[in-house]
C-alpha cells in the first residue's frame, strides 16, 4: 500500500498546520518516504465550513467514525485535553491504527499505559510534537544519544515564560508589564497560570525524563516553581553578575537518584542556554560520553508543531510503504529503571535576593546563618540609591547542596529585618563548554 490516509482529530492550529504541510510538500514527502500521504478525514466537534476542509478530505464530527473509516490508516490526535483524547488514542491503538499525538498532557499522564497498549497491538505511536515543537528532542533522546548514559537534561520548554523573562531582561520591565506584552503578542493566554507556574514545562519534563532515564515518573512528582517572584531588580543584579534568568526544567542524576524540578535559575552568560531568547525552546543534554549538547528552535505554533507531527507521519508511512509497520521500541521503551525521585540534592552555587528594612549588622547576621551551614559567600552586591525603608541586596553562595542553602534561608527568613522571604535561585555556571 503506497497511499497512506491520515485522519486528523481536533482540527485547530496544529491540525491545520499538519494538513497544510502535507498538501504543500506532497511530492517531496513521497520522494522521501516512498508513500503518498493524503488527509483522508478531519474531525471537529463544531462542523467546519467547506473552505476549511482539506481538498479530498471527509469532514466528520464524531471521532469514532474517523477511527473506523477504512480510508484512515493513521490517526493524528491534536484535540488537546486529557479525557477525550485518552479515549480516542486508546480506541485507535485497539483498532490497530498507528497514532501520532501532539498532546503533552496526555502523554505525561498516560504515556506508560498507551505505550504498553501500542506494544501489545504492535503499532507505532509518535510523540515528537508533544514537546518543543519542531525541536527533534524526542528523536534525539530515543534514537541519537540513547546509547549514552545521560547525566542531566536542562530545558527551556515553555516559550511564554521565556518570552516574558527575555522582555524583562532586555527592556527592564516588571513581571506584570512583560506578562501583559506576552498576552498582547499572543504568547500568553488570558489565564496564564499553566505557563507561568511551570505546570506546562512540568508535563514536558515528565515526558523527556522518561525517555532520557527510562524511569517511571508522573507530573505530580516534579516540584514546580513559577516565575512570578522574579522582579526587574533581579535582572539588574543578574546583569552585574554577567548572567540572566531562565525558567529551567531540569532532570539530573545524583548517584542512584533522579532530581527533577522546574524553577527559575540564574544562568551565566558563559552558558549557551543564556542565549536562548524570546519564545524559543532549547534542551541541553549532558552525557557521559557525548558531553554537553543542545537542540534549539521554535517550541510552538502551527508551522513547527505541524512539521513535528508530519515527521512522525512520514516515518510511519515509510514503514507502511516498505511493508514493515510495527511497534517502535525506541520512543516507547519500558520505564523499568529504578531511580527514586529525590529533592534538594542539587549541588550548585546560589543566588539569594534579600529585601530588608535597613539597619546596621544585617550582612553579618546573614553571613553567620550561611556559615553555620558550612557554605561560603562568593559575593555581596547592592544597587546604589535605594531607600532605607525597603532595600534589596544579593548574596551569592559557592556550590553547596540545596538542603544546606534551604536551612540557611529558613533561618534568614525568620530574621526581623526581612520584609519578604528571600528569592533563592540556583546558578547554572557553564553547561555549555
Give min distance, CB of 390 to its own copies, in A: 36
Q: What number of CA atoms fall less than 13 Å from residue 209's CA on the CB side? A: 31
Q: Exactly one of 16, 97, 104, 204 is catalytic; which is it?
A: 204
Is 327 an interacting residue with respect to its own copies (CB under 8 A)? yes
| Beta partners for residue 251, in sequence order | 153, 260
Taking contact as CB under 8 A, which single stretch among the options 44-52, 142-150, 202-210, 405-413 is the one that binds its own copies?
142-150
The CA-CA-CA angle for residues 9, 14, 20, to 5°, reads 95
Is 112 an interacting residue with respect to its own copies (CB under 8 A)? no
Q: How far is CA 304 from the centre of its chain?
A: 15
Give the count of beta carbons closer than 10 Å to the beta carbon of residue 40.
22
Site residues for its own copies, window 26-55 (CB under 8 A)?
Answer: 28-29, 31-34
Task: Select from 34, 45, 37 the least CA-distant residue to 19.
Answer: 37
Site string for its own copies, 238-277 (x = CB under 8 A): ----------------------------------x--xxx
Choice from 7, 54, 136, 264 touching its own copies (CB under 8 A): 136
* Closer residue to its own copies, CB minimum distance, 238 or 316: 316
Q: Which three cell numbers stand for residue 187?
A: 504568547
Site residues for its own copies, window 151-180 (CB under 8 A)?
Answer: none
Q: What number of CA atoms fall less than 13 Å from residue 278's CA on the CB side? A: 8
Residues near 143 by beta carbon (within 8 Å), at least 6 away in sequence: 330
Give min distance, CB of 129 to its own copies, in A: 11
Contact present, 155 and 283 (Cβ < 8 Å):
yes
Active site residue 387: no
* Closer residue to its own copies, CB minimum distance, 267 or 422: 267
Give min distance, CB of 255 to its own copies, in A: 17
Q: How far is CA 268 from the centre of its chain?
A: 20
Give min distance, CB of 207 to its own copies, in A: 16
Rounded Cα gap, residues 383 and 370, in angstroms: 22
* Closer residue to its own copies, CB minimum distance, 280 or 353: 280
Rounded Cα gap, residues 339 and 204, in angstroms: 19
Rounded Cα gap, residues 127 and 116, in angstroms: 14
Give min distance, CB of 321 to its own copies, in A: 8
* Closer residue to its own copies, CB minimum distance, 275 or 342: 275
Q: Can you say whether residue 122 is alpha, beta or left, with left for phi > 0 and alpha for psi between -120 and 50 degrees?
A: left
Taking contact as CB under 8 A, which single stretch among the options 21-29, 77-85, 183-191, 412-420 is the one that binds its own copies?
21-29
Give min distance, CB of 404 to its own copies, in A: 32
Site residues for its own copies, window 174-213 (CB under 8 A)?
Answer: none
Q: Give me the residue label for grid cell 523527556.
A: 208
Taking contact as CB under 8 A, which single stretch among the options 135-143, 187-195, 252-260, 408-416 is the one that binds its own copies?
135-143
Give min distance, CB of 300 to its own copies, in A: 11
Rounded Cα gap, residues 49 and 99, in angstroms: 26
Taking contact as CB under 8 A, which single stretch among the options 5-13, 23-31, 154-162, 411-419 is the one that binds its own copies?
23-31
Site string for its own copies, 285-324 (x = CB under 8 A): --xxxxxxxxxxxx----xx-xxx-xx-xxx--xx--x-x
Is 336 an interacting residue with respect to its own copies (CB under 8 A)? yes
Contact present, 377 and 396 (Cβ < 8 Å):
yes
Give min distance, CB of 97 to its own copies, in A: 18
Q: Which three cell numbers stand for residue 107?
A: 502523554
Would you state the torsion angle of the CA atoms of residues 196, 198, 199, 202, taken in this order, to the nearest 10 degrees?
A: 160
Long-range contacts of 360-363 (CB under 8 A, 24+ apart): 362/415, 362/417, 363/393
Taking contact as CB under 8 A, which single stretch among the options 8-16, 167-175, 176-184, 329-337 is the one that binds its own copies?
329-337
Q: Would the CA dihedral through 46, 51, 52, 54 be positive or negative?
A: positive
Q: Give me the residue label for grid cell 488537546.
A: 80
* Closer residue to its own copies, CB minimum distance, 146 or 347: 146
Rounded Cα gap, residues 315 and 425, in angstroms: 42
Is 399 an interacting residue with respect to its own copies (CB under 8 A)? no
Is 278 an interacting residue with respect to its own copies (CB under 8 A)? yes
Where in the sequence numbering do the catalytic residues fall? Answer: 204
Residues that bind its own copies (CB under 8 A): 17, 21-22, 24-25, 28-29, 31-34, 128, 133-136, 139-140, 142-149, 214, 272, 275-278, 287-298, 303-304, 306-308, 310-311, 313-315, 318-319, 322, 324, 326-327, 329-330, 333-334, 336, 432-433
Amino acid at each position: 500500500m503506497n497511499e497512506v490516509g491520515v485522519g486528523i482529530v481536533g482540527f485547530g492550529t496544529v491540525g491545520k498546520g499538519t494538513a497544510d504541510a502535507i498538501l504543500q510538500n506532497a511530492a517531496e514527502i513521497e520522494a522521501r518516504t516512498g508513500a503518498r500521504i493524503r488527509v483522508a478525514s478531519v474531525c471537529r466537534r463544531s462542523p467546519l465550513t467547506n473552505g476549511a476542509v482539506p481538498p479530498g478530505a471527509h469532514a466528520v464530527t464524531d471521532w469514532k467514525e474517523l477511527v473506523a473509516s477504512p480510508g484512515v490508516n493513521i490517526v493524528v490526535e491534536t484535540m488537546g485535553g486529557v479525557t477525550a483524547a485518552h479515549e480516542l488514542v486508546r480506541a485507535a491503538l485497539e483498532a490497530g491504527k498507528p497514532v501520532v499525538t501532539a498532546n503533552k498532557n496526555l502523554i505525561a499522564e498516560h504515556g506508560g499505559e498507551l505505550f504498553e497498549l501500542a506494544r501489545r497491538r504492535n503499532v507505532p505511536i509518535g510523540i515528537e510534537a508533544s514537546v518543543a515543537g519542531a525541536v527533534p528532542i524526542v528523536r534525539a533522546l530515543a534514537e541519537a544519544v540513547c546509547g549514552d548514559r545521560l547525566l542531566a537534561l536542562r530545558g527551556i520548554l515553555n516559550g511564554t515564560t521565556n518570552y516574558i523573562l527575555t522582555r524583562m531582561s532586555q527592556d527592564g520591565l516588571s513581571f506584570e508589564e512583560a506578562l501583559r506584552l506576552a498576552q498582547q503578542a499572543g504568547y500568553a493566554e488570558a489565564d496564564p497560570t499553566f505557563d507561568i507556574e511551570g505546570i506546562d514545562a512540568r508535563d514536558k519534563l515528565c515526558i523527556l525524563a522518561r525517555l532520557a532515564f527510562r524511569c517511571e515518573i508522573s507530573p505530580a512528582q516534579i516540584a514546580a516553581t513559577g516565575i512570578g517572584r522574579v522582579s526587574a531588580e533581579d535582572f539588574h543584579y543578574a546583569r552585574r553578575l554577567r548572567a540572566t534568568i531562565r525558567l529551567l526544567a531540569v532532570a539530573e542524576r545524583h548517584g542512584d537518584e533522579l532530581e527533577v524540578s522546574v524553577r527559575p535559575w540564574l544562568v551565566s552568560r558563559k552558558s549557551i542556554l543564556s542565549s536562548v531568547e524570546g519564545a524559543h525552546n532549547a534542551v541541553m543534554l549532558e552525557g557521559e560520553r557525548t558531553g554537553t549538547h543542545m537542540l534549539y528552535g521554535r517550541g510552538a505554533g502551527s508551522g513547527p508543531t505541524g512539521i513535528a507531527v508530519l515527521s512522525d507521519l512520514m516515518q510511519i508511512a515509510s514503514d507502511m510503504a516498505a511493508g514493515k509497520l510495527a511497534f517502535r521500541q525506541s520512543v516507547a521503551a519500558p520505564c523499568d529503571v529504578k531511580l527514586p525521585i529525590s529533592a534538594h540534592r542539587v549541588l550548585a552555587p546560589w543566588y539569594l535576593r534579600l529585601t530588608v528594612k535597613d539597619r546596621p549588622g544585617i550582612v553579618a547576621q546573614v553571613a553567620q546563618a550561611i556559615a553555620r551551614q558550612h557554605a561560603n559567600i562568593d559575593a555581596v552586591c547592592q544597587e546604589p540609591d535605594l531607600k532605607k525603608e525597603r532595600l534589596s541586596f544579593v548574596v551569592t553562595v559557592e556550590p553547596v547542596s540545596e538542603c544546606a542553602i534551604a536551612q540557611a534561608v529558613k533561618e534568614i527568613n525568620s530574621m526581623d529585618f526581612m520584609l519578604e522571604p528571600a528569592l533563592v535561585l540556583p546558578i547554572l555556571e557553564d553547561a555549555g563548554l
